[in-house]
Structure 1
Amino acid sequence: MGFLDTVFGTINDLTWGWALVPFLVVLGLFFTVASGFIQFRFFKRMFNVLRGTDADNDPNKISAREALFVSVGGRVGGGNIAGVAVAITAGGPGAVFWMWVIALIGMCTALVEATLAQLYKRTEPNGDYRGGPARAIIHGLGENYRWLAVIYAVCLIASFAIGFNAFQGNTVAGAALDSMSIPRIVTGLVLSVLTGVIVFGGIHRIAKAADVIIPIMAFGYIAMALIVILLNLFAIPGVIWDIVANAFGFREAVSGGMGAAIAQGLRRGLFSNEAGLGSAPNVAATAYVKHPVSQGITQSFSVFIDTILICSCTAFVILLADVYQPGVEGIDGVVLTQQSLVEHLGGWTQYFLTFAILLFAFSSIMYNYYLGENALTFMTQNPNAVLVLRIAIIGIVFLGAVAPGATAVFSFSDPMMGILAVVNLLALMMLFPIAMRIIADFRAQLAAGVEKPVFDPAQFPDLDTDPTAWPDAPKS
C-alpha cells in the first residue's frame, strides 16, 4: 500500500498539484476567444431547454433536458456545499470571484466537449445513443489513438464509478448519522437498494429519476438561499465588495492574499463544474437533438447552474452570517455551511441540508454509475460485463456507507481523474478545429433564418459520423 500511495501521490502532484489547473484555464480562455465568446452569444438560447426539447414527444429517446439534469445531478454535490466553504476558508471571500471566472470560461469548454461527444455518438441496437471522449478519440482521431481512448475509459471507471461512488455512500451515511442518528448499516442498505433499482433500469431510468430529483434538489436549495439573501438584502453590496476586494488583493482576508484566492477559487470551481474533465460529455451524447451544438449549449448551461447559481448560493449563505471569521482557523466544510444556515433561519435547516446532501449524493451515484457503464461498453460488448459492474457499484456504495475508514482504499480517485482530464484536454486540442466547423455550420443556419438548425452528416463526408444518429437530416 505504501508503494501505491507514493505512485498515486506523485500522479496527483503532477496533475492537480502542478500543471492541470493552469492548463484547464489557458485552454478554456483559448476556446472562448477562438470561438468568438460563444458561451455569451448563445446565453439566452440556453434557457430554451427548460421549455421544451426535441425528444419530448418520443418516450424512447433521452431528451436534452433529461441529459441536462443528469449532468447537473453529477456536477452538483459536495463541492457546492462543502467545497465552497473550504474555498472561502482557505482563500477568503475572493475565492468566490475566481470561481465565477472559471465557470464563465468553463462554459465554453463544456460546450466544445459536449458538441464533439454529440458529433461522434453512435446508435445502439435498442435505439439509444452512446458517445463521449473515448468514442470521439476513436472516430475523430483514428484507430491509432485507441490506446489513448482506453486510458481514458479505465480512468473514468476507476475515478467516478468506483472511487467517487464509495465517497458518496460515505457522505450520505455520515450526514444521516450525524443529524438523525441513523446507523450507517441502515443507510447503506437503503442506499444500495435504491441504487440497484436505478442502475438496473439503465440510462432511461436514470434520466427519468434525474428529471424529478434534480429540479427539487436545485430549486429547493436556491429558494433557501434566496430567503437568506432577502432577509439580509441591505448587506449584499458589502458582501459583493468583500468578494471583489479580496479577489484583487485590495483587502487580504487570509494568508496568501490574492494568490490564495485565485488558487482556491480556480481549483474548487473546476472540481465543482467539471468543465474540461471529460466526464459530462458521456451523458451529453445520450440526448436526441437536431444538431450537436444544441446539446453543447445545454451542457454549457449546466456549468452556469452548478457554479454561478448553486455555488453562489452557498457563498452568500456563508458570507452573510457571522460564523465565518476571515483568517481565523476553525470550522470549515459542510459544518460551516450548516451552521451559517442555522444562524440565518434556525435549527431546522440542518435537517434540510442533510436532506439536500442525500439528494446531491444520490444523484451523483446515478451519474457516476452511468459514466462507468459508458466506459465499459466502449472496451467490451459483453453484456455480462455491465451486469458485473452494476452489482459491483451496489457493493461499493454499501461499503462506502458502512465502513468510513474503507474509503481511504479509494484514494486513487483524484489522481485517476487527473489523468482523465489530461487525456480529455489533449483530445480537445486536436479536435477543436472540427468543433469549430460544426459551430460554424450551426451559426450559418441561424444566420439563414433557421430557428432550429439541423445537422446533416452528408455535408461533412470527411468525418466519421453515424448517419443513423441524425434522423432529422435531409434525405438524399
Structure 2
Amino acid sequence: MEEFVNWLAGLVWGNGLVILALGAGLIFTVATRFVQVRYFKEMIKLLFEGKSSEEGISSFQAFCLALSGRVGVGNIAGVATAIAFGGPGAVFWMCVMALLGGASAFIESTLAQVYKTKVGNEYRGGTPYFIEKGLGLKWFAVLMAVVVTISYGFLTPGVQANNIAAGMENAFGINKIVTGIFLVVLLGAIIFGGVKRIASVSQTVVPFMAGGYVVMTFVILAANIKEIPEMISLIITSAFGVNQAFGGIVGAAIAWGVRRSIFSNVAGAGEATYSSAAAEVSHPAKQGLVQAFSIYIDTIVVCTATALMILVTGMYNVTPEGKEPIVQPLENIEAGPAYTQMAVETVIPGFGSAFVSIAIFFFAFTTLMAYYYIAETTLVYLSGKQDIPWLKTILKIVLLIMTFVGCVYSASTMWALGDIGFGSMAWLSFIAILLLIKPALKVLKDYDIQKRAGKDPVFNPIKAGIKGADFWEEKCIEVEKKSSLDSKSII
C-alpha cells in the first residue's frame, strides 16, 4: 500500500506539473503586463485599506488567512529538500517561480472575487464556484470541490501535524501522542468558532511568526557576513550550470525549485481563492493584488530566509536522485528541518532545535486552520451552496482525527498522501484559471482604466463585460436604488 501511495504521489508531482505551473505563470505574467511588478506599491497600500463587514473579512484578514495556508512546513522542510536534491541553484529557480506565481495568484484570486456568492451571512467562493459560473462546467466544479474537500479535510493535515509532533519530540522530548491531543484541543477550539475566529487568530499570529523567523535570518547572516558574497555566487552559478560541482544538475535545480515553490506558496493551485472570496472589497482586482503580494512574503521572504540560513552556514548535503552525493558534510542527516536547526546551532549553540520546532509549530498550526476553512467552503459548495451545520461538524471531526493520526504515523506516508491531494488539486486549478484568463484580464483592464482616471476602482460587471458575476450585479443594482432614493429625498 505504501509503495502504491508513493508511486501515485510521484506521478502527480511529475515534470508535467512543473511545466504547467511555469508555463501558466509565464502566460499570466505576459498577459497582465507584469501586474505583480507594476502594481507592487499598490499591493502594499491595498493590504491595509479594506475593512471587514458582517458578511466579509478585511483584505488584511484574507491576506493573513491565505498566508497562513501558504506558510507551512514547506517553508522549512521543503526548502531543505529542494537544496538536498537540486543543489543551491534550486533557490534561484524557487524565486523565479515565485515571481511568475505572483501573476497566477492575481488571476485566481481576482476570479474568486468576481464569481463569489453569499451563503447565509457570509461570502463564499473559490475555484469550484468560479468554474461553475465562469466556465459553466458543473461537473468540473463538482470534481474540483470533491478533490479539495478530500485533500484539505483528509489527506494533507497529517503533513503539518507530523512535522509539529516530530519537532516537539526532538527538541523537548514531548511524546507525539501528547502533542497530538494538545493540537486537537487547540485546533478544535478555533475551528469550531467559525471563519471570523480563524481570520482573527491568523491576523495576530502570521505577522508575528514571519517576523520572528526573518529576524533570526538576519542574526545568522550577520554572524556569517563575510560568506554572503560567496553564497550568492554559489546560488547563481549553480542555477545556470556554471558551477563546477553542480553544473550537471541544472535540470534537477529547476525541477526542485519549481516544485517546492508551488508546494510552499501554492500560487495558481487554488488554495488562496477561498479566503480571497471572503474579503470585502470594492473591486475584485484589489484582492487579486493583495494575494499576489502574499507570494512575495511566502517565498521571497520566508523560503529564502530558510535557504540563506542553510547555505551561508554550509549546513546541507546535496545528493541528486539516483546519483552519488556531490556535497555531504552532514553524515546520516536526512534533508528537512535538521538543516535549519544545525544552521542556527552554528551561531547560537543549544538553541537550534527549539527555535525550528517552535517555528514549525506556528507555521504548521496556522496552515491547519486554513485547511479547515478551505475544506468547509468546498463542502458548502457540494451542499448546494447551503450552510448545513451537521456536515461541517463531521468535517471538523475528520480533520481533527487526521491531525492526531498525522502526529503518530509515518512521516513518509503523510507526505505522500499530502502530495497526492495537493498535486491533484493543482492540476485541476491551473487548467481552470488558464481557461478563464479572458474574464480575469477584462477585470484588470477595468481596474487599469479607473486607476488612470484617478478613481478608487469600483466594479461593475456589466460595464466590464463579465457574465455570471451575480453577486456584483446585485450589488450594483442595490447601489443604484440607494442612490436614486437619496436623490429623491434631497429633491
TM bin (shorter chain): over 0.9
Distance 1:387 1:227, change over 3 A: same
Supply the distance in 1 between the matched residues of 2:111 and 2:244 (Cα, whole angstroms).
42
Counterparts in 2 of 1:25-424, with a 5 A limit? 25-50=22-47, 52-55=48-51, 58=53, 61-126=56-121, 128-142=122-136, 145-254=137-246, 256-324=248-316, 327-329=326-328, 330=331, 331=333, 332-380=335-383, 381=386, 382-401=388-407, 403-405=408-410, 408=413, 411-424=416-429
2:87, 2:238 within 8 Å by CA — same for their partners in 1?
yes
SS in 2 for 1:201: coil
Instruction: Return 40-49 or 195-204, whichever deviates more.
Output: 40-49
TM-score with structure 2 setting the length: 0.90
Distance 1:154 1:441, change over 3 A: same
- In the TM superposition, what whole-angstrom CA distance separates every residue of 1:215-262 from its partner, at most 9, and x where no partner exists? 111000011101222222332222111110111111043474212211
1:110, 1:299 within 8 Å by CA — same for their partners in 2?
yes
Amino acid at match of 1:182: I
1:455, 1:470 within 8 Å by CA — same for their partners in 2?
no
Supply the distance in 2 between the matched residues of 1:341 and 1:406 (Cα, whole angstroms).
24
The number of equivalent residue pairs is 466
1:161, 1:368 within 8 Å by CA — same for their partners in 2?
yes
Identity %: 39
Equivalence for 1:442: 447
Supply the distance in 2 between the matched residues of 1:150 and 1:409 (Cα, whole angstroms).
25
TM-score with structure 1 setting the length: 0.93
Distance 1:206 1:469, change over 3 A: farther
- In the TM superposition, what whole-angstrom CA distance separates every residue of 1:313-364 from its partner, at most 9, and x where no partner exists? 1111011113335522443211011101110222223212111111111101
1:67, 1:286 within 8 Å by CA — same for their partners in 2?
yes
Supply the distance in 2 between the matched residues of 1:12 and 1:37 (Cα, whole angstroms).
33
The runs of 5 or more residues in structure 2 that have no matched partner are: 319-325, 482-491
SS in 2 for 1:123: strand
Distance 1:454 1:73, change over 3 A: same
Equivalence for 1:467: 471
Amino acid at match of 2:468: D
Instruction: Return 249-258 or 59-68, whichever deviates more.
Output: 249-258
Distance 1:9 1:410, change over 3 A: closer
How far apart are residue 12 of structure 1 and its match? 3.7
Supply the distance in 2 between the matched residues of 1:110 and 1:358 (Cα, whole angstroms).
26
How far apart are residue 469 of structure 1 and its match? 8.5
Supply the distance in 2 between the matched residues of 1:198 and 1:253 (Cα, whole angstroms).
49
Runs of 4+ in 1 over 4 A off after TM superposition: 8-11, 468-474
